[in-house]
Amino acid sequence: MATPSQRVVCAILLTLGLLMTTLFVEPIPEQLDSKESPADSSTSGRQAEVDPDCSGLTFEDLFEYDYAIFDLVILDDWATADMSASAWVNGSNSAIVRANLDGLFDGAPGGNNSYISTDERDAVRQFGPACIEDMETRLGMNEKKLAGGEFNWNNFSFTNDGIALDEVNIVPTNHPDAKSCTNFGASPSCKEVPVSITDNLEIHLESQPDVSNLEFVQLPNKGASNFTLAMNITNMTSGVFQATFPFVENLRVDGASMQDRNQGVAGELYNLDSLEVMYTDTEQVMIRLELEFDRTQWDVERFIFVEFTTSERLVNTPPVWAADAPSNGMKIIIGQGTETMVASSELLSAWGQDVDGWSMQCNFTEEGWSSTISQNGEWVISHPELASSESATCTLIDKLNVANQESRTFEFGRLFTMTGSLNEDQSMIDVSITPTQFVNGFSVTAHAHQLESNDMGQMTSVDIQTSDVTLQLSLSGVKPGTILAMGTAIGNGMLDYNFMIELGVEKPNSNPILSLLPNALENSNATWDASGRVFILRGTFYEIDGEFITFSYTLCGFSSQGFVTTANTWEVDISIAPCIAQGTTDYSILISGTDESGGATVLDIHVVDPFAQTNQEEEPDNSMVDSSKGLPSISLLSTLCMLALALLRERR
């Protein structure tokens, strides 16, 4: 009979045996199905913990751009405003921006790892407004003339609820260096590229619909008497700043100046003659300033002061046409519909000069035509839908109705009609261009454009005289969906015509192309690991539309993802646990690849179990693991106990 100590040893071995079974038991399908998939597990949950601290930063600290346009609109309450900004980032600067964005997620899964991913891109869209809210606006307004004086630079502040942030090409589609994300909790379709890539990108800041994104200390006078707008433009390397103010009777710009401060020491205050002032058709004052700053001047800060007043000027001179203004008889192109923006604010502002700003009045000979300058400073022509051509006499005029005596006559008309159709293999759009003879000879440069994704095809050009011309637009790199023709027409005696025309053409979706790479060494479709319970499948894929592909597989009723993709290859480790639980060795796998437009391709693969024949020939051994229950038999535990007792007796 076993002694108490022997019984203790046996009990310990029994316990160890039971613990060992938990290490080798295979999960049953119900357990597998109950687990959260990588997509569900926590990508959103973990990202919700991201709280980027951007306090003390400026827009330029995070986005080192090559060119930017800032548009500020002061709202009627004189306490809120809308700010929009578009920044274009090229070459080496794009690598800096990607590294800065990756650094925002330091401490989060996949963050600050020298790769920028689609998960991080989506998080920037979601949490970027919280970052922008912390930033310094470097804008201030005060009910005094404060040029060169002390100023509260941050009495403009961003409001999170009103901020919309978007980007273009932070993670380029189908980039050769793109790979599947390998960090914990990455979403199934997550792709990442090195932050060092230099593909161009864009950043866009907008206001949410009906919600302003800036607030400031309200001017008690609401612009009815003297006030100053002040801006810190340090590090604004190249771009445009534009601001529009609500209508106030007799409101005008009374002066503009610039001042540099080196290590806090204020330099000379000098007049800023480059500031352009215009009036919209609703008599709103709009200012426009070209930005330029040398970022190598680390110790220099640059400030702009724009002073406003409602007092009338004692001597008023009329506005004059600038050297860049269209000459008399210039032909200006109108587009489809009943309204055409024929000149951007940047172009239009360079056509006239006046100390207090100017507007333009045009008189048309036919009804149904009119000219306006929008709140954004764009020159817009309204016209009949089927109009062919018309002329107008235009004059520059200031807010006190003092006009330039030199009026100019412009001709307005349609340049061409355009239709399109898919070619036979659906890789091109054949665009037929029919000139209207409004202009004698011009050239068109255009590309296929997809609004939803902002994708564009390769640029192509053609010269047009009097006959119809067919222009082929490549659809390579453009996602499926509605396709427009976007481009520019130029010709002698005409204003450059920028167009975006619907062709009534949709690019169809092409399903991904998937293939399986057989294992040459094992002469089978799969490679088995040493345990015999996991096999590896490898293959290639190609997506002609450049869309991301989401992979999944189904085996023995269990579906999962977890694919690793590099360049144009895919790989996945597949456990046969659900098949073992069902007592089957029929390993028929469905590999599915689905693109962003929902197009799917499925591979039906059968993997032969290399151990199946051997297992069938052998007699069942009750002392081994029962695969249907996953527990060692009692005889094995008894044997362990007897061995332990024998060892104890021998030692005694």
Instruction: Work out the pLDDT band at 393, boundaries 50, 70, 90.
Output: very high
Q: Average per-residue pLDDT in the chain? A: 81
User: In the predicted model, what is the mean pLDDT of residues 481-490?
Assistant: 93
Q: 416-507 sits in which CATH class?
A: mainly beta
Q: SS3 breakdown of the chain: % helix, strand, coil, rounded to 5?
A: 15, 40, 45
pLDDT value of residue 50 = 54
Residues 323-338 pLDDT 10s: 999 999 999 999 988 9
Residues 41-57 pLDDT 10s: 333 333 334 556 788 88
Residue whose entry in the numeric block shows the structure tokens 């179990």: 609
Residues 385, 639: Cα–Cα separation, whole Å:
95
327-413 and 511-610 share one CATH topology? yes
DSSP letter for each residue of 38-104: HHHHTHHHHHTT-----TT--HHHH---SEEEEEEEE-TTSSEEEEEEEEEE-HHHHHHHHHHHHHH
CB 428 within 8 A of CB 511: no
What are the residue boundaries of the structural domains of the chain, listed by start? 44-309, 327-413, 416-507, 511-610
Which residues lie across from 326 on neighbouring strands? none
CB 213 within 8 A of CB 42: no
Residue whose entry in the numeric block shows the structure tokens 């601290």: 53
Residues 235-265 pLDDT 10s: 888 999 999 999 998 899 988 999 988 877 8
Residues 51, 245: Cα–Cα separation, whole Å:
34
Residues 391, 379: Cα–Cα separation, whole Å:
16
pLDDT value of residue 487 = 94
CB 343 within 8 A of CB 378: yes
User: In the predicted model, what is the mean pLDDT of residues 307-325?
Assistant: 88
Look up the CATH architecture of domain 511-610.
Answer: Sandwich (2.60)
List of E strands, 493-599: 497-507, 513-517, 527-528, 534-542, 549-555, 558-560, 564-566, 569-575, 587-595
pLDDT value of residue 177 = 87
Residues 485, 214: Cα–Cα separation, whole Å:
36
User: In the predicted model, what is the mean pLDDT of residues 511-538?
Assistant: 83
Any idea which of 1-15, 153-167, 401-415 has the lowest mean pLDDT?
A: 1-15
pLDDT value of residue 522 = 61
Residues 368, 390: Cα–Cα separation, whole Å:
10
Is CATH 2.60.40 what the domain over 327-413 is classified as, yes or no? yes
